[in-house]
Protein backbone atom coordinates (compact mmCIF):
# COMPACT_ATOMS: atom_id res chain seq x y z
CA UNK A 1 0.00 0.00 0.00
CA UNK A 2 1.34 3.44 -0.94
CA UNK A 3 1.74 6.03 1.81
CA UNK A 4 -0.95 8.28 0.28
CA UNK A 5 -3.52 5.47 0.51
CA UNK A 6 -3.75 6.39 4.22
CA UNK A 7 -5.48 9.67 3.33
CA UNK A 8 -8.83 10.42 5.02
CA UNK A 9 -12.13 9.89 3.19
CA UNK A 10 -13.06 12.70 0.83
CA UNK A 11 -9.55 13.19 -0.58
CA UNK A 12 -8.24 12.16 -4.00
CA UNK A 13 -4.71 11.69 -5.32
CA UNK A 14 -3.20 13.25 -8.44
CA UNK A 15 0.33 12.16 -9.39
CA UNK A 16 2.65 13.88 -11.84
CA UNK A 17 6.16 12.49 -12.05
CA UNK A 18 7.78 12.67 -8.62
CA UNK A 19 5.03 14.90 -7.21
CA UNK A 20 1.93 13.69 -5.37
CA UNK A 21 -1.01 15.99 -4.68
CA UNK A 22 -3.53 14.90 -2.05
CA UNK A 23 -6.60 17.09 -2.57
CA UNK A 24 -10.07 17.45 -1.14
CA UNK A 25 -12.28 16.04 -3.88
CA UNK A 26 -14.38 19.16 -4.46
CA UNK A 27 -11.23 21.15 -5.27
CA UNK A 28 -9.19 18.50 -7.07
CA UNK A 29 -10.06 19.19 -10.71
CA UNK A 30 -9.63 22.97 -10.60
CA UNK A 31 -6.40 22.81 -8.59
CA UNK A 32 -4.78 20.24 -10.85
CA UNK A 33 -5.78 22.21 -13.93
CA UNK A 34 -4.32 25.38 -12.36
CA UNK A 35 -0.95 23.68 -11.79
CA UNK A 36 -0.95 22.97 -8.08
CA UNK A 37 1.77 20.33 -8.56
CA UNK A 38 4.21 23.26 -8.73
CA UNK A 39 3.05 25.49 -5.83
CA UNK A 40 5.37 28.43 -6.56
CA UNK A 41 4.30 28.55 -10.20
CA UNK A 42 0.68 28.17 -9.07
CA UNK A 43 0.97 31.26 -6.84
CA UNK A 44 2.67 33.24 -9.59
CA UNK A 45 -0.02 32.28 -12.12
CA UNK A 46 -2.67 33.49 -9.64
CA UNK A 47 -1.07 36.95 -9.80
CA UNK A 48 0.91 36.54 -6.61
CA UNK A 49 -0.33 36.30 -3.01
CA UNK A 50 -3.51 38.08 -1.96
CA UNK A 51 -2.09 38.27 1.55
CA UNK A 52 1.05 37.22 3.38
CA UNK A 53 1.08 35.82 6.92
CA UNK A 54 3.66 35.60 9.63
CA UNK A 55 5.21 32.26 10.40
CA UNK A 56 7.69 29.66 9.29
CA UNK A 57 7.28 28.67 5.67
CA UNK A 58 6.01 32.17 4.74
CA UNK A 59 2.30 31.32 4.39
CA UNK A 60 0.45 33.15 1.61
CA UNK A 61 -3.21 33.42 0.70
CA UNK A 62 -4.34 32.92 -2.91
CA UNK A 63 -7.75 32.55 -4.56
CA UNK A 64 -9.06 29.00 -4.93
CA UNK A 65 -9.46 28.38 -8.66
CA UNK A 66 -12.98 27.50 -9.72
CA UNK A 67 -14.46 28.67 -6.40
CA UNK A 68 -15.17 32.42 -6.54
CA UNK A 69 -14.84 34.19 -3.20
CA UNK A 70 -12.81 31.41 -1.58
CA UNK A 71 -9.16 31.81 -0.65
CA UNK A 72 -6.69 29.27 0.66
CA UNK A 73 -3.49 29.62 2.66
CA UNK A 74 -0.52 27.82 1.16
CA UNK A 75 2.27 27.01 3.63
CA UNK A 76 5.63 25.55 2.66
CA UNK A 77 7.05 23.14 5.22
CA UNK A 78 10.36 24.33 6.61
CA UNK A 79 12.31 23.07 9.59
CA UNK A 80 13.38 25.29 12.47
CA UNK A 81 16.32 25.28 14.86
CA UNK A 82 19.61 23.54 14.21
CA UNK A 83 18.02 20.87 12.02
CA UNK A 84 16.56 23.64 9.90
CA UNK A 85 20.00 25.12 9.32
CA UNK A 86 21.22 21.74 8.11
CA UNK A 87 18.24 20.48 6.10
CA UNK A 88 16.16 23.59 5.39
CA UNK A 89 12.93 22.37 3.80
CA UNK A 90 13.95 18.75 3.23
CA UNK A 91 12.06 16.01 5.08
CA UNK A 92 12.88 12.36 5.45
CA UNK A 93 9.78 10.57 4.20
CA UNK A 94 6.59 11.96 2.64
CA UNK A 95 4.06 11.65 5.47
CA UNK A 96 4.37 14.98 7.29
CA UNK A 97 1.52 16.87 5.56
CA UNK A 98 -0.67 13.77 5.38
CA UNK A 99 -0.42 13.43 9.16
CA UNK A 100 -1.41 17.07 9.58
CA UNK A 101 -4.46 16.60 7.33
CA UNK A 102 -5.50 13.52 9.29
CA UNK A 103 -5.24 15.33 12.65
CA UNK A 104 -7.17 18.31 11.27
CA UNK A 105 -9.95 16.03 10.03
CA UNK A 106 -9.98 14.29 13.43
CA UNK A 107 -10.48 17.73 15.04
CA UNK A 108 -13.24 18.75 12.63
CA UNK A 109 -15.14 15.50 13.22
CA UNK A 110 -15.06 16.19 16.97
CA UNK A 111 -16.11 19.82 16.81
CA UNK A 112 -12.71 21.39 17.45
CA UNK A 113 -12.54 24.83 15.81
CA UNK A 114 -9.70 24.65 13.29
CA UNK A 115 -9.04 25.47 9.65
CA UNK A 116 -10.28 23.13 6.91
CA UNK A 117 -7.57 21.35 4.90
CA UNK A 118 -7.77 21.65 1.13
CA UNK A 119 -4.81 19.43 0.36
CA UNK A 120 -1.06 18.93 0.22
CA UNK A 121 1.67 18.66 -2.38
CA UNK A 122 4.63 16.34 -1.75
CA UNK A 123 7.63 16.28 -4.10
CA UNK A 124 10.47 13.74 -3.99
CA UNK A 125 13.71 15.63 -4.59
CA UNK A 126 16.27 13.01 -3.51
CA UNK A 127 15.94 9.32 -2.65
CA UNK A 128 14.07 9.37 0.68
CA UNK A 129 13.86 13.20 0.89
CA UNK A 130 10.83 15.35 0.13
CA UNK A 131 9.61 18.95 -0.02
CA UNK A 132 6.04 19.59 1.06
CA UNK A 133 3.29 22.23 0.96
CA UNK A 134 -0.07 22.35 2.73
CA UNK A 135 -3.22 24.21 1.68
CA UNK A 136 -5.98 25.17 4.11
CA UNK A 137 -9.08 27.29 3.68
CA UNK A 138 -8.35 30.88 4.71
CA UNK A 139 -10.17 32.35 7.70
CA UNK A 140 -10.93 35.90 6.44
CA UNK A 141 -10.13 38.81 8.72
CA UNK A 142 -8.61 36.70 11.49
CA UNK A 143 -5.79 37.91 13.75
CA UNK A 144 -3.49 35.65 15.73
CA UNK A 145 -3.95 35.98 19.49
CA UNK A 146 -0.76 38.01 19.99
CA UNK A 147 -1.65 40.47 17.22
CA UNK A 148 -5.22 40.71 18.47
CA UNK A 149 -4.26 41.57 22.06
CA UNK A 150 -1.74 44.14 20.76
CA UNK A 151 -4.66 46.10 19.23
CA UNK A 152 -5.87 46.83 22.81
CA UNK A 153 -9.46 45.69 22.19
CA UNK A 154 -12.23 46.89 24.53
CA UNK A 155 -12.22 44.97 27.86
CA UNK A 156 -15.45 43.12 27.21
CA UNK A 157 -14.41 41.97 23.75
CA UNK A 158 -10.95 41.05 25.06
CA UNK A 159 -12.51 38.79 27.69
CA UNK A 160 -14.77 37.14 25.13
CA UNK A 161 -11.81 36.47 22.83
CA UNK A 162 -9.75 34.94 25.66
CA UNK A 163 -12.69 32.78 26.70
CA UNK A 164 -13.08 31.61 23.11
CA UNK A 165 -9.36 30.79 22.97
CA UNK A 166 -9.54 28.82 26.22
CA UNK A 167 -12.61 26.91 25.02
CA UNK A 168 -10.94 26.10 21.68
CA UNK A 169 -7.82 24.67 23.33
CA UNK A 170 -9.97 22.68 25.76
CA UNK A 171 -11.98 21.23 22.86
CA UNK A 172 -8.72 20.21 21.21
CA UNK A 173 -7.52 18.40 24.34
CA UNK A 174 -10.92 16.78 24.86
CA UNK A 175 -10.59 15.41 21.31
CA UNK A 176 -7.32 13.75 22.35
CA UNK A 177 -5.07 16.11 20.37
CA UNK A 178 -1.71 17.41 21.58
CA UNK A 179 -0.36 20.46 19.75
CA UNK A 180 3.46 20.46 20.18
CA UNK A 181 3.72 24.07 18.96
CA UNK A 182 0.80 25.60 20.85
CA UNK A 183 1.58 29.31 20.90
CA UNK A 184 -0.19 32.65 20.56
CA UNK A 185 0.38 32.76 16.79
CA UNK A 186 -1.37 29.42 16.36
CA UNK A 187 -4.64 30.63 17.87
CA UNK A 188 -6.66 32.85 15.55
CA UNK A 189 -9.29 35.32 16.76
CA UNK A 190 -12.22 35.98 14.43
CA UNK A 191 -14.61 38.91 14.56
CA UNK A 192 -12.23 41.50 16.01
CA UNK A 193 -14.02 44.83 16.42
CA UNK A 194 -17.48 43.31 16.13
CA UNK A 195 -17.85 42.18 19.74
CA UNK A 196 -18.74 38.68 18.51
CA UNK A 197 -15.33 37.02 18.72
CA UNK A 198 -14.47 33.36 18.31
CA UNK A 199 -11.21 31.39 18.14
CA UNK A 200 -9.70 28.61 16.04
CA UNK A 201 -6.53 26.56 16.57
CA UNK A 202 -4.26 26.30 13.53
CA UNK A 203 -0.95 24.81 12.31
CA UNK A 204 -1.34 21.21 13.48
CA UNK A 205 2.03 20.19 12.05
CA UNK A 206 3.52 17.44 14.27
CA UNK A 207 0.30 17.28 16.34
CA UNK A 208 -0.81 13.82 17.34
CA UNK A 209 -3.89 12.12 18.74
CA UNK A 210 -4.30 9.98 21.83
CA UNK A 211 -7.20 8.18 23.40
CA UNK A 212 -7.09 10.71 26.23
CA UNK A 213 -5.01 13.76 27.10
CA UNK A 214 -4.17 13.29 30.78
CA UNK A 215 -4.07 16.43 32.98
CA UNK A 216 -0.24 16.46 33.31
CA UNK A 217 0.12 16.33 29.53
CA UNK A 218 -2.56 19.02 29.07
CA UNK A 219 -0.86 21.27 31.64
CA UNK A 220 2.48 20.80 29.89
CA UNK A 221 0.82 21.87 26.63
CA UNK A 222 -0.70 24.91 28.38
CA UNK A 223 2.74 25.75 29.77
CA UNK A 224 3.97 25.85 26.17
CA UNK A 225 1.32 28.48 25.48
CA UNK A 226 2.27 30.42 28.64
CA UNK A 227 5.90 30.40 27.49
CA UNK A 228 4.77 31.87 24.18
CA UNK A 229 2.92 34.66 26.00
CA UNK A 230 6.00 35.40 28.12
CA UNK A 231 8.20 35.49 25.03
CA UNK A 232 5.75 37.75 23.25
CA UNK A 233 5.84 40.15 26.20
CA UNK A 234 9.65 40.02 26.50
CA UNK A 235 10.14 40.85 22.84
CA UNK A 236 7.13 43.09 22.25
CA UNK A 237 7.12 45.31 25.34
CA UNK A 238 4.11 46.84 27.07
CA UNK A 239 1.80 46.52 24.07
CA UNK A 240 2.30 42.74 24.11
CA UNK A 241 1.68 42.29 27.83
CA UNK A 242 -0.87 39.79 29.07
CA UNK A 243 -2.21 40.48 32.53
CA UNK A 244 -3.03 38.09 35.36
CA UNK A 245 -6.68 38.80 34.55
CA UNK A 246 -6.12 37.72 30.95
CA UNK A 247 -4.60 34.44 32.13
CA UNK A 248 -7.43 33.75 34.57
CA UNK A 249 -10.02 34.52 31.92
CA UNK A 250 -8.42 32.00 29.56
CA UNK A 251 -8.04 29.34 32.28
CA UNK A 252 -11.61 29.73 33.58
CA UNK A 253 -12.87 29.00 30.08
CA UNK A 254 -10.42 26.14 29.59
CA UNK A 255 -11.31 24.51 32.92
CA UNK A 256 -15.01 25.41 32.59
CA UNK A 257 -14.96 27.23 35.89
CA UNK A 258 -13.28 24.43 37.87
CA UNK A 259 -11.18 26.05 40.60
CA UNK A 260 -9.31 22.81 41.21
CA UNK A 261 -8.41 22.62 37.54
CA UNK A 262 -7.10 26.18 37.58
CA UNK A 263 -5.09 25.46 40.75
CA UNK A 264 -3.58 22.32 39.18
CA UNK A 265 -2.46 24.30 36.14
CA UNK A 266 -1.06 27.06 38.37
CA UNK A 267 0.93 24.50 40.40
CA UNK A 268 2.35 23.02 37.20
CA UNK A 269 3.35 26.46 35.94
CA UNK A 270 5.09 27.22 39.25
CA UNK A 271 7.17 24.06 38.82
CA UNK A 272 7.77 25.05 35.21
CA UNK A 273 9.03 28.50 36.23
CA UNK A 274 12.74 27.66 36.32
CA UNK A 275 12.61 26.58 32.68
CA UNK A 276 10.90 29.85 31.79
CA UNK A 277 13.84 31.73 33.33
CA UNK A 278 16.23 29.84 31.03
CA UNK A 279 14.08 30.64 28.01
CA UNK A 280 14.10 34.33 28.95
CA UNK A 281 17.91 34.28 28.96
CA UNK A 282 17.94 32.92 25.41
CA UNK A 283 15.38 35.50 24.25
CA UNK A 284 17.54 38.25 25.68
CA UNK A 285 20.62 36.82 23.99
CA UNK A 286 18.74 36.77 20.68
How many Cβ atoms from other residues are within 10 Å of residue 115's Cβ? 21
Burial class, 216, CB count within 10 angstroms (exposed 0-12 / middle 13-18 / buried 19+): exposed
174 is catalytic: no
Give every CB contact of residue 174 below 8 A, 6+ residues apart in sequence: 110, 213
Catalytic residue among 133, 181, 205, 246: 181
Give every CB contact of residue 258 below 8 A, 6+ residues apart in sequence: none
**Residues involved in catalysis:** 181
Amino acid sequence: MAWYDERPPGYAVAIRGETVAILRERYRGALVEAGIHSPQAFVAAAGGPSRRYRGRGHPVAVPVPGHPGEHMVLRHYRRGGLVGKLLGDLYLGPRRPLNEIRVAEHCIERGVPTTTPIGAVVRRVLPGFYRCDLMTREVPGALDLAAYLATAPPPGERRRALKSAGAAVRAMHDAGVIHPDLNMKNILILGAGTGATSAVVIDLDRAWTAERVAPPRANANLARLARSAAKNEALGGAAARTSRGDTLCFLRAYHRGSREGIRATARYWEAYGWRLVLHRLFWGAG
